[in-house]
């Protein structure tokens, strides 16, 4: 390692308290890095200054454990306003129990421009300059770079748009090879904090249900040798990866927003190798990862993977150039107009829109590509009532994540239908055809009332 970098490191190494004191004041806007990049020591230091500060805004994304101290120490939200770009189970719990916790919607693929635009065109972006950006990274390498690890995302744009940059070193962070924009040089860092090297948050393994298996079976028919797969989060996508390993499919490729354990299993089994990809051949492209410790260990210095900024990994115009891109995402509800809700339960924010729209568009534009949106046809309430996830219209407060014009293929355990392009009566017929049979007659009556049903419509069993 260069002696100059060693000295620069020593010069910039401070305590978390000192870094926060020098970077944050009343009225500041502070960005926490996303996912496992969320700071731990600096978050504690910022929370400790609650009585000295006023009106500090903190923005993060997919908040993982531990619960941020700025919320724990200020449950009423008197000083800290906490914003999350994609709600997690942690964020949902915080909003239910605390004040000052809000959702901050973005279209993930274009999100980098929001940060760069703060300085380039603030009127267009309607954003505010960032006073401080804080991220957990791996240790500095011999060339003076800190690798972001498993959260590339919008990090580089956050660094470029912030007045102060704080790196919190965690030796447990894997080195994620690029790609692009996967690291920051010490010359761009203002302060370095050495934390206690806590373990990274790992997603609990989600047990797939029999319904998930039926949905995955319906998805399999859209996959072919050499296609490129994007998987979202959840029990069904992980199950799908396991089921693919039981098929004769080969030479699959990967391009995704979120890297999950399924990709590791597919690559290790030889089913996925990227050799047929016409873009980024031989590489799985991703912008962040959440999964098991085994996944994080697999990511470390793995040349099969390419960590990219989200403006590359998710941009629909680039995705459209990937032949045979099959995008597989999950939803919470679909209405009879084919509108998709993938993020809320009425007024209650569950997750977010994230990059779903990016992949819905990009996969449909891809030569030979498809966009699949999957959901179980029903759910059971706490008191044991069976409810349909396919509804006539959304209840007040429910968010439309994907508008009806963009929806390609819908999949439930009862089948799959293409609803693009289809007239309203045709959409209604197809969608009711993959609803749970117990709810089809009721949905037909509602469709008639909504003037989107023809006498000649038939529902296939």
The CA-based angle 404-427-422, given to 5 degrees, is: 75
Q: Locate 114 and state its tokens.
A: 């929001």
Instruction: Please count the residues of the chain.
Output: 461
Q: Are strands 333-335 and 340-341 parallel, antiparallel or unpaired?
A: antiparallel
The full DSSP string for 5-54 is HHHHHHHHB--HHHHHHHH--TT-EEEEPSGGG--SHHHHHHHHTGGG--
Strands (E) located in 320-408: 325-330, 333-335, 340-341, 344-345, 348-349, 370-374, 378-380, 386-388, 390-391
Give the C-alpha separation, 54 to 75, whole Å: 14
Token pair 């978390």 is at which residue? 16
Token pair 């014009």 is at which residue? 405
Q: Locate 332 and state its tokens.
A: 């919470």
Number of helical (H) and strand (E) elements in the chain, helices listed first:
17, 26
Q: Which residues 6+ apart lie within 8 Å of 167 measured at CB?
A: 134, 135, 137, 146, 184, 189, 191, 192, 193
Q: Locate 78 and state its tokens.
A: 């008197």
Q: Would you say the C-alpha torsion 429, 237, 92, 168 has a positive or negative sign? A: negative
Q: Are strands 162-169 and 101-103 parallel, antiparallel or unpaired?
A: unpaired
Half-sphere exposure of 293 (CA within 13 A, CB side): 5
Give the C-alpha separation, 392 to 83, whole Å: 32
DSSP state, 108? Answer: G
- 171 assigned to active site: no
Catalytic residue among 257, 343, 413, 446: 257
DSSP state, 317? Answer: H
Residue 275 near residue 251 (C-beta atoms within 8 A): yes
Residue 39 near residue 68 (C-beta atoms within 8 A): no
Chain mean position to CA 108: 8
H/E stretch holding 84 reads strand 80-84
Q: Which residues are catalytic?
A: 257
């Amino acid at each position: 390692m260069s002696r100059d970098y060693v000295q620069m490191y020593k010069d910039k190494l401070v305590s978390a308290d000192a870094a926060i004191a020098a970077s944050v004041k009343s009225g500041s806007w502070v960005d926490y890095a996303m996912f496992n990049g969320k700071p731990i020591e600096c978050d504690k230091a910022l929370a400790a200054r609650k009585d000295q500060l006023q009106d500090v805004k903190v923005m993060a994304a997919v908040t993982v454990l531990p619960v941020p101290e700025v919320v724990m120490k200020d449950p009423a939200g008197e000083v800290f306003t906490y914003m999350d770009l994609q709600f997690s189970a942690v964020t949902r719990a915080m909003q239910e129990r605390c004040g000052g916790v809000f959702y901050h919607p973005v279209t993930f693929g274009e999100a980098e421009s929001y940060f760069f635009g703060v300085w380039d065109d603030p009127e267009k972006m309607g954003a505010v300059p960032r006073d401080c950006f804080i991220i957990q990274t791996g240790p500095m390498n011999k060339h003076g770079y800190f690798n972001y690890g498993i959260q590339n995302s919008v990090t580089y744009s956050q660094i470029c748009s912030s007045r102060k940059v704080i790196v919190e070193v965690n030796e447990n962070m894997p080195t994620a090879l690029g790609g692009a924009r996967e690291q920051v040089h010490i010359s761009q860092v203002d302060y370095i904090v050495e934390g206690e090297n806590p373990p990274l948050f790992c997603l609990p393994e989600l047990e797939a249900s029999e319904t998930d298996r039926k949905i995955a079976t319906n998805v399999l028919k859209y996959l072919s040798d050499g296609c490129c797969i994007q998987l979202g989060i959840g029990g069904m996508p992980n199950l799908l990866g396991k089921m693919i390993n039981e098929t004769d499919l080969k030479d699959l490729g990967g391009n995704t927003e979120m890297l999950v354990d399924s990709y590791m299993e597919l690559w290790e089994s030889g089913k996925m190798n990227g050799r047929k990809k016409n873009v980024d051949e031989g590489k799985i492209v991703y912008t962040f990862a959440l999964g098991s410790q085994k996944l994080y260990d697999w990511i470390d210095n793995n040349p099969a993977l390419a960590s990219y900024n989200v403006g590359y990994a998710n941009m629909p115009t680039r995705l459209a150039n990937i032949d045979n891109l099959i995008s597989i995402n999950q939803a919470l509800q679909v209405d009879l107009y084919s509108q998709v809700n993938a993020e809320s339960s009425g007024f209650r924010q569950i997750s977010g829109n994230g990059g779903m729209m990016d992949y819905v568009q990009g996969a449909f534009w891809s030569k030979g590509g498809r966009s699949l949106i999957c959901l179980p046809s029903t759910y059971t309430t706490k008191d044991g009532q069976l409810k349909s996830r396919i509804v006539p219209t959304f209840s007040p407060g429910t968010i439309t994540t994907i508008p009806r014009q963009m929806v390609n293929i819908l999949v439930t355990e009862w089948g799959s239908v293409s609803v693009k392009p289809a007239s309203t009566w045709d959409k209604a017929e197809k969608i009711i055809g993959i609803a749970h049979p117990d709810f089809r007659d009721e949905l037909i009556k509602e469709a008639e009332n909504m003037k989107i049903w023809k006498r000649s419509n038939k529902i296939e069993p």
